[in-house]
Structure formats: C-alpha cells, structure tokens
C-alpha cells in the first residue's frame, strides 16, 4: 500500500504529539462509513475508503497508538432482530446505514455502541 499523503501524516503527527503531551490516551476507531465498504470486504476486495483507513491504521500502530477496527464486527449486522417502523425483522447491512450518507441509523448506532464497548474492554484487558 502506498503511504498516506504528507499533509495527512503531518496532521496525524500533530494529533499524536498533542495527546501525548497533554496526557490524553489516544485510541483510533476505524468504522465502515458506507455500505459499499462492507460489500467489497465480503467479496475479498477493498473499497477506496477502507484502503485509506487501513493505511491510517498501519501509520498509527507503528506509533504505538491502539486502533479499533470495527469492520471485523460487521458480520453482526446480518440476522439481528431489529425494529423498523414498529415492526420486528431480521437485519441486513442496509439497515445500519443511511443510504448515500455515511451516517448510521438508530440500529447502526446501537451496533457501534455494542462493538465499541466490546473492543474497548478487550483493549483494557490486554493492556495489563
């Protein structure tokens, strides 16, 4: 993979330096923001947004910054019982994202909360 653009690396370096110098624990969270990212992943491919996120993850990990990758948890999006318009149904990936928007639906935010809690607990457990 090609390296991140210099302007991006510089901004990330400033963020790392600021958090370290102010005693803030930086944790990077990478989350799919488009349905297409998940569809590509399920076919063994990488969407350009995910490719960029993977390069950012490598950059931060080399600096000793933990990176939570929520993409690993997207399988939980299929087959969960959710409520949509007052009716219960089995979920699919499209139920978690607002189309062509990149934001999460109510179900998507619940999923993000659940997987973030899980990964943060795992991170804390492995920190000692």
What is d(CA 68, CA 56) in angstroms, rounded to the nearest whole number? 12
Q: Where are the chain's structural domains?
A: 6-126
Helix (H) and strand (E) counts for the chain?
4, 4
Q: Which residue has the tokens 């989350």?
A: 31
Confidence grade of residue 41 (pLDDT, cut at 50, 70, 90)? low
Please choose, from the candidates 47, 26, 22, 48, the residue with its C-alpha nearest in 3D space to the C-alpha of residue 37. Answer: 47
Strand partners, 84: 87
> What are the pLDDT digits (tens) for 60-76?
999 999 999 988 788 88
Please choose, from the candidates 59, 64, 62, the residue with its C-alpha nearest in 3D space to the C-alpha of residue 30. Answer: 59
Query: Exposed, middle or buried: residue 50 (CB in 10 Å: 0-12, 13-18, 19+)?
Result: buried
> What are the pLDDT digits (tens) for 74-123?
888 888 888 888 889 998 888 888 887 878 999 999 999 999 999 999 99
pLDDT: is 61 or 45 the higher one? 61
Determine the length of the chain: 128
What is d(CA 54, CA 41) in angstroms, rounded to the nearest whole number? 12
């Amino acid at each position: 993979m090609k390296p991140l653009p210099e302007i991006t690396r510089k901004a990330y370096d400033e963020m790392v330096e600021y958090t370290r110098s102010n005693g803030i624990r930086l944790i990077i969270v990478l989350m799919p923001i488009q349905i297409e990212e998940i569809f590509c992943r399920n076919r063994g491919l990488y969407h350009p947004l995910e490719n960029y996120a993977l390069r950012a993850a490598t950059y931060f990990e080399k600096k000793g910054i933990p990176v939570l990758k929520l993409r690993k948890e997207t399988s939980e999006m299929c087959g969960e019982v959710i409520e949509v318009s007052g009716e219960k149904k089995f979920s699919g990936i499209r139920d978690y994202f607002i189309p062509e928007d990149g934001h999460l639906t109510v179900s998507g935010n619940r999923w993000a909360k659940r997987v973030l809690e899980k990964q943060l607990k795992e991170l804390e457990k492995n920190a000692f």
